Structure 1
Amino acid sequence: MDASREEAEVTRQPKEADEVTQPPEGPAAGPAPEPGSPAWWQARYAERDRRRPRAGGLTLARITAGALELADRDGLDALTMRSLGEHLQVRHTSLYRHVASREELLIETVDHMLGEIRLPSLTAGWQAGLEEGAREFRRVLGAHPALVPALTGGQLLGPHALRAREHALGQLLDQGWAPRTAVHVYLTVTHFVIGSAVLDSGGAARTGPQRAAMTELFAHLSPVTHPVVRRHADLLNAPDGVDEFTFGLRVLIAGLGRLHTEETEA
């Protein structure tokens, strides 16, 4: 079924009694904002404020929970509006009243996934709190590797993402960080965790056959042009994603500790 026929089908289907949406107020809307952009999220929040969900009806939370289950089980490519409808045992056309496209579905599902993060306390010290938070974030991403590539589909500005942002920044400020630096610290650690997860999900994680192939490659390098790589081939081929994440996080927090000392003593 092509897009125009599917759109027509959505129009013809009788509306389910899942919720009533009040018509938007104000002037006619302009071009739709890019999904995942700040303007898109602002419109989503306004739309949620207008909705009146009915008990037992199809909800966005049910949709995104089902999407996460489906991606975990069958992979991201298998997650379509039609397959999700089958998974939830509803008409796939009913999903379009909550998300306008698969792209929007993925963005909302990513935020649903972020709701699994257990927010740490920094009362024992900001270093321990940051490390715990980073490891917890990485744990959640590791539990849903199929969805990790979708992290780059838009800015993390959904309700669960903002909950984590509010918590982390508030904790850093309470621990004496200056506001501007606290923002940089939060973003730096967040992007480090995401980068680590994206690399692993994209094939950077080394399997046994990949390690064997890398050993073979290093062994055939010229000792004239690559003497250092040949000499330390075993070490270069040894770390896995967990080792690299642990080392990188330790170095990152140690560097932030020196920065914090410099700022507080200035």
Structure 2
Amino acid sequence: MTRQPKEADEVTQPPEGPAAGPAPEPGSPAWWQARYAERDRRRPRAGGLTLARITAGALELADRDGLDALTMRSLGEHLQVRHTSLYRHVASREELLIETVDHMLGEIRLPSLTAGWQAGLEEGAREFRRVLGAHPALVPALTGGQLLGPHALRAREHALGQLLDQGWAPRTAVHVYLTVTHFVIGSAVLDSGGAARTGPQRAAMTELFAHLSPVTHPVVRRHADLLNAPDGVDEFTFGLRVLIAGLGRLHTEETEA
């Protein structure tokens, strides 16, 4: 096997001051704070290996081969660099996954709420789900750390700012943002974990329900067709519509109080 030439890396300035204590948990607020400080010290070298290139390659590899296939060594081969050079930017596969998730979130097109906060929330939720649906292999990694990277904070800043501009009280705006965000993530996690039902799967479940005992499960048996009619998109659309309608009622109550 031909040895790949070593690619120039960014130069990291050594941290100043006394030796630090135990390293913070990857994905935690303390970890992200240290990452931001490190990026401020980093001086890129022209043509060097960058974190953006690493995470873009990791996303490509996960999309193509699945999350289990994404290792530091396989990523080095994919990028045609020595895998040891990756450790200048991410200390472990766990850190790589956290940074790659944030890179994925950079694909989200931020909506405008000029047409109203309801339309903006719906557009933003659908766009978020679109991006997660385009990269299903990486969805399980969403729960590996808190979403506090630069692209996640970009979306958070935008959504909260728009909600506040539309008249939401700060405390409620935070709850609205988190509720909608977690709804989208929960839907995507269920879909990626096999809860999403294909047409044949729904037909098989209908068959199962239809043959249940009318004594023990009369309601499920009677509504077997209805219970298995919606697919993942239908469920998401209905849930989002109900969620936004409920938030609209809450907003009216707060503004009239």
Place the TM-score, normalised by the shorter chain, in its bin: over 0.9
Among candidates 111, 114, 117, match of residue 123 of structure 1: 114
Q: Deviations over 1:227-260 (max 9, x none)?
A: 0000001011111100000000000000000000
Query: How far does residue 222 in structure 1 lie from its aligned partner after superposition?
Result: 1.1
4+ residue runs over 4 A deviation: 10-16
2:164/2:170 contact within 8 Å kept? yes
Q: What SS does the aligned partner of 1:53 have?
A: coil
Which of 205-214 and 217-226 deviates more? 205-214
- The counterpart of 1:216, out of the listed 185, 189, 207, is 207
Partners of 1:15 and 1:46 in 2: how far apart? 27
1:210 Cα offset (Å): 2.0
> How far apart in 2 are the matches of 1:229 and 1:93?
56
Greater mean deviation of Cα atoms: 20-29 or 125-134: 20-29
Q: Do the aligned partners of residues 70 and 223 (structure 1) sit closer, same or farther apart at CA in structure 2, a change above 3 Å counting?
A: same
| In structure 1, distance between residues paired with 2:108 and 2:9 | 29
Instruction: Quote how far apart the aligned CAs of 1:212 are.
Output: 3.2
CA distance in 1, matches of 2:2, 2:60: 28
SS at match of 1:85: helix
Deviation at 1:225, TM superposition (A): 1.1
Q: CA deviation at 1:205?
A: 0.9
Provide closer, same or farther for how the CA distance between residues 238 and 204 of structure 1 changes in structure 2, counting only shifts above 3 A. same
Is 2:9–2:50's contact at 8 Å kept on the other side of the alignment? yes
Could you tell me how far apart the structure 1 residues matched to 2:117 and 2:222 are? 40
Percent of pairs with identical residues:
100
CA drift at 1:209: 3.6
Distance 2:93 2:187 in 1: 25
- Alignment partners' CA distance in 2, 1:19 and 1:211: 51
- 1:17 CA displacement: 3.0
TM-aligned CA deviation for residue 21 of structure 1: 1.1
The question of 1:93 aligning with 2:84 is answered yes
Cα offset, 1:11, TM superposition: 21
Offset at residue 215 of structure 1 (A):
2.2
- Residues of 2 paired with 1:67 and 1:15: CA distance? 19
Task: State the Cα deviation string for residues 122-149 of structure 1 (Å, max 9, x = none).
Answer: 1110000000000000110011011001
Identify the match of residue 175 of structure 1 among 166, 169, 193: 166
Write the distance in 1 (CA, Å) between the matches of 2:197 and 2:37. 44
Residues of 1 paired with 2:4 and 2:159: CA distance?
Answer: 44
Q: Offset of 1:219 from its aligned partner? A: 2.4
Residues in 1 aligned to 2:120 and 2:135: alpha-carbon distance in whole angstroms: 23
Distance change (3 Å), C-alpha of 1:49 and 1:171: same
Listed as ranges, the gaps of 5+ residues in structure 2 are: none
Matches within 5 A, 1:101-112: 101-112=92-103
Please identify, of 42-51 and 15-24, the stretch whose mean Cα deviation from structure 2 is larger: 15-24
1:34 equivalent to 2:19? Answer no
Aligned twin of 1:207: 198
Q: Does 1:233 align with 2:233?
A: no
**Residue aligning to 1:7:** none
Contact kept in structure 1, 2:6 and 2:82, CA below 8 Å = no
1:46 is matched with which residue?
37
After alignment, is 14-23 or 188-197 more displaced?
Answer: 14-23
How far does residue 216 in structure 1 lie from its aligned partner after superposition? 2.9
| Cα pair 2:102 2:151 within 8 Å, conserved | yes
| Counterpart secondary structure, 2:200 | helix
After TM superposition, give the deviation of residue 14 of structure 1 in Å.
Answer: 11
How far did 1:12 drift?
Answer: 15
Task: Give deviations 1:91-137, integer Å, cap 9, x for gaps.
Answer: 11111110011110000000000000000111110000000000000
CA contact 2:202–2:228 (8 Å) conserved in 1:
yes
For 1:208 and 1:190, the matched residues in 2 are separated by 28
TM-score in terms of structure 2 length? 0.96
Structure 1 residue 16, shift from structure 2 partner: 5.2
Shift of 1:18: 1.7
